[in-house]
Structure 1
Amino acid sequence: MQIRTNIRTIVLSLLIGLLLPFNSPFAQGLDIQFEHLSVRDGLSQVTAYSIYEDHLGFIWIGTDDGLNRYDGYNFLIFRNDPLNEKSLSNNSVNSIQEDAYGNLWVGTDQGLNLMNSVTKEFKVHKFDFHESGSLSSNTVWCMALDKDDHLWIGTANGLNRYDDRDSTFTKFKLEVNEENSISNNSINSLFRSKNGSLWIGTNQGLNKWIPESDSFDRYVIPEDQTRYGQVVQCISEDDEGNLIVGTNQGVFMLVDGRLERSEFRELDDVKVNWIKTDKEGDTWMGTDQGLYHYFSNKTRPLLHRFEEQNSTSLSDNKINCIVEDSTGILWIGTYSGGANLYYREQQRIFHYDHSNLGRRVFPSDIVNCIEEVAPGQFWLGTEAGVGVLSDATIDKENLISVPEQVIGKSITSISRIQDEIILGTDREGVLIKKIGAEEVITITRTAEGDGLSDDRIADIVYMDNKWWIGTQGSGINIISPGDSIERIQYDPSTKDGLRDNRVMALCAQGNEALWIATSSAGIQKYNLRTKDFVNYSVRQDSARSISNDKIVCLFYDSAVLWAGTKGGGVNKIDLMTNNITVYT
């Protein structure tokens, strides 16, 4: 059923929020809107290095000018006070981590801070040359808990494990002649996998901590696949437990104990700063060039970037971190655009037209109909031809091509049955395309009278092995197998037939009945077995009257018929009781 009113616009807007143009290596992320948190909202500074959700649901954001706690409405900011030794040790906050006891640890450029949750004061841990149990470096890059809830701290000069019994740190550093030592002292990332393993990313490859020996296994990028060294920026895993490694030259995966190039080939030679696989199984890659979104099958990524004319685009292309909170909101920390929020479950309705999707997708801004012609591929019938939207995961080779014969034509109806797509036009009859064939069959009105009764097509449905074609001025045409054409038309000499030749929409009720929306005679139900009509129209003396006789769209669902009118709202007809409810 095709709809030519604002109801159609609503359906179209909902649908396009899930779809993208298919004619690029990766599609620009037009379907996602981001909410921004920046200085004007109370954030202390625009560089969001780290984001963390604590056990109470607070969001903590580390910036270049302090630590921010966000409660969903307001920010509470913690900064260094040179006159207060219990304040934050430094305003550049690189990492945030909660320990097993709910204590918040904050890593900065000048020390590791432990917050007192009651007093909001900080105990500072720093490197001390004279203390063997001190932190190995004041520059703290990353933190993680191992499977036994020990806190690990990655710094610019070594890896540390915190012992809460005596508040000391065990240091792990590169030992030149010891192959089971950490491979490099610059620790960029820490990650605990689902199986409990602790992984360490360094400037010289990937490391895995071996608890039994308190040592490390090393994994390096093969020489034939590297041009810029062995820098591991970030570590994550997909929903199947496969380890994903982001480097300064793309993405690698650990396969049979070896790092190999991943299927994320669009990111070859791209610096990948953060990787996050969300609860839906989608993988998000934060880079210096924007945010890449790979669906669960890891094909055809979306690329989200800053767009100056789009207030809800990503606020900055350089991504520092990505976090999914307990409610499913995705938080993206950027270098100069603060924090970006993506509400997957609360995504709004968006407006798209030819200006932002192009004439190939939207030949005209007047969209008459939508049909899913193949799984994930939708054709849009417009006033100037057929546009195509497809799910971003579909390979281009599997798309059904649009025939040249529809270019420039006003398409009012699109339907697919088996291997045929039938298109109704406003003044050029019916076009039939067989899938896989170049030829397009045209059925029009003929001088001999053996064709259509009218070339102005309103709607087309398939039922009872026949095509039922509603026209805008000459009733209904029925094309049977063998291409014979029958007609149902208004006959002023009888009150029992079609009441108006101006058909606005058709709707099939299985193979039992055809519902007909007319321009001035309300709704009619045509019984395929008895060939009788039942009429629904405005009746001043009846509570079961519909609200308007000009019907523009129909939808049948489980013994309920929904009818959209021009000027009378939406009518809900309960076919079991014949009760009519009007929504305006």
Structure 2
Amino acid sequence: MKFKIALILFVFVFGNLFSQNKYRLKNFSTTDGLSQSSVIAIHQDKFGQMWFGTRDGLNKYDGSRFTIFRNDVNDKFSISNNDILAIEEDNSGKIWVGTYNGLNCYNPISNRFTRYLHTKANHTISNNAVWSIREIGGEMWFGTSKGLTIFNKKSGLFTSVFHSDDDASTLPSNNILSILRTKKGEIWIGTTKGLCQLISRKNGKLSFKNFPLNTTDLLNVQSVIEDKEGNLWIGTKNKGLLKFDQKEKSFVTFLSNEKYSEINTDIRSLIIDKQGSLWVGSYDGIYILGQDKSLQKINNSNNSNGIDKVKSIFMDKKGSIWIGCYYKGVNLWDISNVNFSNYNQTSKKIPMSFDVVSSIISDQNDNIYFGTEGGGITIYNKKSEAVSYINSKTGQTHKNDIKAMSLSEDHILWIGTFSKGLSAYNTISKRIEDNRIAPDLTDLLKESGVYSLKAENKILWIGTFGKGLIRYNTSDKTFQIIGNDISKPTFLTNNMVRSILIDKQNSIWLGTQNGLNRISLQNFNPKKYKIQHFFYDHSALSGDDILTLFEDSQNKIWVGTKARVYIILMEKNSIKLVLKLEIPLSLLFTPF
């Protein structure tokens, strides 16, 4: 496994290499753990967890795995129905969930749902199909298939408001699909027969003003949002995207007829991103309307199925956009993905020799070396954009399974392989020079994996998978093994050395499969030295599996393990734990 932070650092350093795809999306589907592939509602709670409502269950996503909530006929504290329509968190941290059969309030502390169902009694929710939820003041507002219901959290009472053919100040329809509270506190309601604004609330009576598009057409309003200028954007099922000027209280033109006709007429969801662009989720996909009136339809280049039948769009606290689709799961756009392009064996610009890349390094001549686990090394020159290879196909080497690389000051690229030991490549002459390796060392490593390398002056430190650490002097071709012999006073905590770091204080850190080791290189004597052990239990002879090491600009050492990240600082002869991050494995590592 490789620590993703390393790859992120690489891409930002060499970001100018990569073509920019502004709207590359990541897809989550049932194969990733989603309960069902139609995502109708999306929300993010105060802890940053994402909630997805599908046609078969409520999903909580913590960045690593999905937790699914479904109805259990034998559990009265389970959710009332699996067909989820709306999700909203209130200011106390409770999650309100609207379904096709009942309103639910989830308490994350007790892990229980409280059900609110329509009955013939007074002060119950007006209908069991709950399409929209908003917290306004100290109340919860619910749009249902038969009226608007307001829940007072203090009194615990529901009050419902309905359409009446005999009163023009009532709702235009009982089927409420969207609720919006503007920055000024105005409340707008989108129904299947029009858009209206709450204009008064006296003695329990709510009065509304209807704003029709014209005298003949009824608006089926599916989504309403407000932009920073205070304009309303309305997504309708039958009239496409509309813009409403709140100052003039009228619908206004925002695009030419030709460009406007490009947008599908069935608009399900709207969101405005942090750059001020309007994301329009429609029956046939996503449109993005820029502040400069540019219009772009996007497709997911990472998903051959594309994006269509969009039902929900949500912007999280980071500014990432989540897009829920019928039948195609949920897609995530994150601005950090702008800096990344994917290169594989079929890429035109940099066709990789193999798709599993285990190590990356660059030289002073603008060459970038990609070590792969099956295709040798792919070399890309940033200036000429030429691509070349070192592998069995080019006849230069038979060692295709690359695990580690390190470049020495004399322009030798040292190459560690999965099962065929060590190799040396002269980056000037462009030739393999394995004669630089002592025959005894070649024999020692011929059936061993070399998982980490660090060239420093004339010394090459070799981390092996089973034979410990090897200190190789490339000048006189002598070497020394530092291993896991607990009978000796100085020993490695494990012979499987995954990572090597030489810090600014001239100490070498060794991440093993069983703990972290440190050796001071100040006045290093190969015959007499000390090894310090960290994240290792001497009584149990066990420790953390250390996968990667990194030193930041403040001399802090980042230690990546299978379960967490430690940030440590060396003080005298001991370490100070600065921070411990319990981060899901799937967020930190990519399997190899």
**Number of the residue aligned with 2:242:** 252
Give CA deviations for 1:285-326 in whole Å, capped at 9, x if unaligned.
000111111223232x221236xxx53467531111111111
Amino acid in the other structure paired with 2:211: Y
Contact map agreement 1:34 1:314 (CA 8 A) in 2: no
Q: Please give the alpha-carbon distance, in whole angstroms, between the structure 2 residues aligned to 1:190 and 1:267.
A: 27
State whether structure 2 residue 205 is matched by structure 1 residue 216. no
Amino acid in the other structure paired with 2:116: H
Give the C-alpha shift of residue 73 in structure 1.
Answer: 0.1
Contact map agreement 1:328 1:345 (CA 8 A) in 2: no
**Number of the residue aligned with 1:51:** 42
C-alpha spacing 1:567/1:103, structure 2 compared with 1 (3 Å) = farther
2:156 aligns with one of 167, 190, 202:
167
C-alpha spacing 1:174/1:74, structure 2 compared with 1 (3 Å) = same
C-alpha spacing 1:235/1:222, structure 2 compared with 1 (3 Å) = same
Q: Please give the alpha-carbon distance, in whole angstroms, between the structure 2 residues aligned to 1:173 and 1:49.
A: 25
Q: Larger RCO: Structure 1 or Structure 2 (Cα < 8 Å, ≥ 6 residues apart)?
A: 1
C-alpha spacing 1:103/1:567, structure 2 compared with 1 (3 Å) = farther
Q: Please give the alpha-carbon distance, in whole angstroms, between the structure 2 residues aligned to 1:567 and 1:280.
A: 50
1:333 aligns with one of 317, 324, 334:
324
**Number of the residue aligned with 1:512:** none
Amino acid in the other structure paired with 1:166: S
Give CA deviations for 1:180-220 in whole Å, capped at 9, x if unaligned.
11110011111222222221100111011234443111111
Amino acid in the other structure paired with 1:274: S
Contact map agreement 1:13 1:350 (CA 8 A) in 2: no
**Number of the residue aligned with 2:127:** 137
Contact map agreement 2:263 2:287 (CA 8 A) in 1: no
What TM-score does the superposition give when structure 1 sets the normalisation length? 0.54
C-alpha spacing 1:281/1:317, structure 2 compared with 1 (3 Å) = same
Give the C-alpha shift of residue 85 in structure 1.
Answer: 1.5
Amino acid in the other structure paired with 2:32: D
What TM-score does the superposition give when structure 2 sets the normalisation length? 0.53
Give the C-alpha shift of residue 105 in structure 1.
Answer: 0.6
Pairing of 1:375-386 with structure 2 (within 5 A)? none
Give CA deviations for 1:95-149 in whole Å, capped at 9, x if unaligned.
00111222111100000001122221111111112x1201110000011122x24
Contact map agreement 1:173 1:181 (CA 8 A) in 2: yes
Give the C-alpha shift of residue 72 in structure 1.
Answer: 0.3
**Number of the residue aligned with 2:266:** 271
Amino acid in the other structure paired with 2:189: I
Amino acid in the other structure paired with 2:340: I
Pairing of 1:172-183 with structure 2 (within 5 A)? 172-183=161-172
Q: Please give the alpha-carbon distance, in whole angstroms, between the structure 2 residues aligned to 1:105 and 1:275.
A: 21
Pairing of 1:319-398 with structure 2 (within 5 A)? 319-350=310-341
Q: Please give the alpha-carbon distance, in whole angstroms, between the structure 1 residues aligned to 2:299 and 2:290.
A: 17
Q: Please give the alpha-carbon distance, in whole angstroms, between the structure 1 residues aligned to 2:150 and 2:429.
A: 71
Contact map agreement 2:24 2:337 (CA 8 A) in 1: no
C-alpha spacing 1:293/1:566, structure 2 compared with 1 (3 Å) = farther
State whether structure 2 residue 104 is matched by structure 1 residue 109. no
C-alpha spacing 1:186/1:174, structure 2 compared with 1 (3 Å) = same
Q: Please give the alpha-carbon distance, in whole angstroms, between the structure 2 residues aligned to 1:259 and 1:91.
A: 38
**Number of the residue aligned with 1:241:** 230
C-alpha spacing 1:62/1:269, structure 2 compared with 1 (3 Å) = closer
**Number of the residue aligned with 1:295:** 290
Contact map agreement 2:26 2:302 (CA 8 A) in 1: no
Give the C-alpha shift of residue 365 in structure 1.
Answer: 7.1
3-state DSSP class of the match of 2:251? Answer: strand
**Number of the residue aligned with 1:33:** 24
**Number of the residue aligned with 1:305:** 299
Contact map agreement 1:44 1:65 (CA 8 A) in 2: yes
Amino acid in the other structure paired with 1:240: E
Aligned length: 339
Q: Please give the alpha-carbon distance, in whole angstroms, between the structure 2 residues aligned to 1:295 and 1:312.
A: 24
C-alpha spacing 1:48/1:315, structure 2 compared with 1 (3 Å) = farther
The percentage of aligned residue pairs carrying the same residue is: 30
Q: Please give the alpha-carbon distance, in whole angstroms, between the structure 1 residues aligned to 2:334 and 2:63.
A: 13
C-alpha spacing 1:287/1:247, structure 2 compared with 1 (3 Å) = same
State whether structure 2 residue 68 is matched by structure 1 residue 77. yes
C-alpha spacing 1:327/1:179, structure 2 compared with 1 (3 Å) = same
Q: Please give the alpha-carbon distance, in whole angstroms, between the structure 2 residues aligned to 1:116 and 1:567.
A: 67
RMSD over aligned Cα, in angstroms?
A: 3.1
C-alpha spacing 1:39/1:365, structure 2 compared with 1 (3 Å) = closer
Contact map agreement 2:222 2:235 (CA 8 A) in 1: yes
**Number of the residue aligned with 1:91:** 82
C-alpha spacing 1:282/1:242, structure 2 compared with 1 (3 Å) = same
Give the C-alpha shift of residue 84 in structure 1.
Answer: 1.4
**Number of the residue aligned with 1:202:** 191
C-alpha spacing 1:313/1:144, structure 2 compared with 1 (3 Å) = farther
C-alpha spacing 1:79/1:334, structure 2 compared with 1 (3 Å) = same
Q: Please give the alpha-carbon distance, in whole angstroms, between the structure 1 residues aligned to 2:226 and 2:147.
A: 24
State whether structure 2 residue 143 is matched by structure 1 residue 187. no
Q: Please give the alpha-carbon distance, in whole angstroms, between the structure 2 residues aligned to 1:303 and 1:352.
A: 24
Unaligned runs of 5+ in 1: 1-6, 18-29, 357-363, 367-503, 506-544, 549-564, 569-584
C-alpha spacing 1:261/1:172, structure 2 compared with 1 (3 Å) = farther
Give the C-alpha shift of residue 352 in structure 1.
Answer: 9.9
C-alpha spacing 1:320/1:145, structure 2 compared with 1 (3 Å) = same
Q: Please give the alpha-carbon distance, in whole angstroms, between the structure 1 residues aligned to 2:342 and 2:67.
A: 36
Contact map agreement 1:291 1:317 (CA 8 A) in 2: yes
Contact map agreement 1:233 1:246 (CA 8 A) in 2: yes
Q: Please give the alpha-carbon distance, in whole angstroms, between the structure 2 residues aligned to 1:56 and 1:278.
A: 21
Q: Please give the alpha-carbon distance, in whole angstroms, between the structure 2 residues aligned to 1:108 and 1:116.
A: 17
Pairing of 1:493-532 with structure 2 (within 5 A)? none
Contact map agreement 2:43 2:50 (CA 8 A) in 1: yes
Q: Please give the alpha-carbon distance, in whole angstroms, between the structure 2 residues aligned to 1:62 and 1:230.
A: 26
State whether structure 2 residue 281 is matched by structure 1 residue 286. yes
Contact map agreement 2:29 2:328 (CA 8 A) in 1: yes
3-state DSSP class of the match of 2:39? Answer: coil
Give CA deviations for 1:489-508 in whole Å, capped at 9, x if unaligned.
xxxxxxxxxxxxxxx99xxx
Give CA deviations for 1:216-246 in whole Å, capped at 9, x if unaligned.
111111247x5xx321111012232211111
Give the C-alpha shift of residue 262 in structure 1.
Answer: 3.6
